[in-house]
Amino acid sequence: MSVASISKPLPRRVQQARDYLIDLWERREFVLALALGNFRARNASTALGLFWWVLNPLLLGAVYFFVVIALFGRQSPDFLTYLLSGMFVFHFTGQALTSGANSIIQNSRLLSNLRFPRVILPLSRLIESTMGFIASLGVFCFIAAVSGQANFTYRLIYLPAILAIHFVFNLGLSALAARLAVPFRDINNVIPYLNRIWLYTSPILWQVSTLPNLSELARRIVEFNPLFSIIGVYRSALLGAPFIGSMIVTMITWAVVVGVLGLFLFIKYEGRMVRYL
């Protein structure tokens, strides 16, 4: 009796997932071409073009830097790098949420005329945002070096792994936003406000150490924010602070939960998207 004859067939859901991944892998060149095309075209009509991918969070960081200085006076010497490191990371996730919500709606004709894994659309948008984020990290390192606040150590070698985990989190978030935005178009109007609230409740403009009167419950709520651990791990790599094990575990947990949940809900629903477009 051959091995093939005694091997059991894969469960139906596992087979479907495998076929989906194979189909997605076979279209990898299309994903990259779509991402690169969007990356070039998005700001092609502006004088600074692609530099706006870096300038947007940089200018926003500069505005908040001067606002915080004006309101609260002199900050710690490393406040600039503290602020920008959080702002660039937040902008990457905020872009994933916003572009994910628009990825299906803005490509309705493509969905109506071609058959392909729909997750390609939020995935290509995320790859596009990732290229801008990588450029932002380069600009951050330059600013830190020029301002004399650089404290680069061997921990920089962990950046690719951190970015990969962050990418999974953002992909799940983007897929979830795309899933909700198709039947509920009002989501696009709500997202900017959600992003603003998320910005103010994340450790970007403030530090937990500057909030000594927080109760234990309030501190736990603050630390439950996914960006609390994500930004913290990035700062450990970029600013030379020691890695905190609990933050790494929390970041990976959020990436797995949001990544799996977002992709599962998106793929399960994608066959019915066209009827809402």
Range of the domain at 110: 22-276
- Answer whether residue 4 is part of any domain: no
**Per residue in 146-205, pLDDT tens?**
877 777 788 889 999 999 999 999 999 999 999 888 888 888 889 999 999 999 989 888
Whole-angstrom Cα distance, residue 247 to residue 253? Answer: 10
What would the pLDDT profile of 87-123 be if each residue is shown by its tens digit?
Answer: 999 999 999 999 888 888 877 777 777 777 888 889 9
Task: Compute the average pLDDT of residues 60-74.
Answer: 74
> 200 in a domain, yes or no?
yes
Task: Give a yes or no: residue 6 inside a domain.
Answer: no
Residue 5 in any domain: the answer is no
Residue 233 lies in a domain: yes
pLDDT at 3 over 50: no
Q: What mean pLDDT is predicted for residues 7-24?
A: 72
Instruction: Say what the pLDDT of residue 173 is.
Output: 95
Question: Is residue 227 included in any domain, yes or no?
Answer: yes
Whether residue 73 is predicted with pLDDT greater than 70 in this model: the reply is: no
Residue 13 counted as domain residue: no
pLDDT beyond 70 at 229: yes
The structural domain count of the chain equals 1
pLDDT at 78: 78
pTM of the predicted model as reported, rounded to 2 decimal places: 0.86
pLDDT computed for residue 1 by the predictor = 45
12 falls within a domain: no
